[in-house]
Amino acid sequence: MKEIYYATSEKEKQRNRSYVKQNVGEALLQLRELSKPSNRSGVSRVYYTGNWVNDIYNNYTEKQAQKIFDNANQYRDKLDFFQVKLKDTYEDYNEKTLQAYDYVARVK
């Protein structure tokens, strides 16, 4: 499982932003790769660990967040999306406790 950062100080908040931005970018690359025709039906992959919507809205502008969601949504015709609840929780920058999930995509 990927490490989930707890942001309390300004330095930790910046580290959390870097972590989220790196992993969101990687998630989008994984979705693109998984949607290629060379992948057989039923192949699945965890593309993100955390709280997808909250992590994106907490670390991107609304316009950037919408572009990320639109980018991910373009694969809905080729991939099924689901999430698996983890035992872990973590705090966002507002010290709000968030549930962690593994976000999984599976080739249709």
What is the structure's pLDDT at 10? 63
Q: What is the pTM of this model?
A: 0.82
pLDDT of residue 105: 98
DSSP string, 18-87: HHHHHHHHHHHHHHHHHTSTTSPTT-EEEEEEE-HHHHHHHHS-HHHHHHHHHHHHTTTTTEEEEEEEEE
Section 79-91 average pLDDT = 93
Nearest Cα neighbor of 18 from 5, 28, 30, 1 is 5
Determine the average pLDDT of the residues in 65-92: 94
pLDDT > 90? residue 49 = yes
Chain CA centroid to CA 77, Å: 19
* pLDDT for res 30: 97
Q: What is the pLDDT of residue 26?
A: 96
The structure tokens listed for 46 are: 């965890």
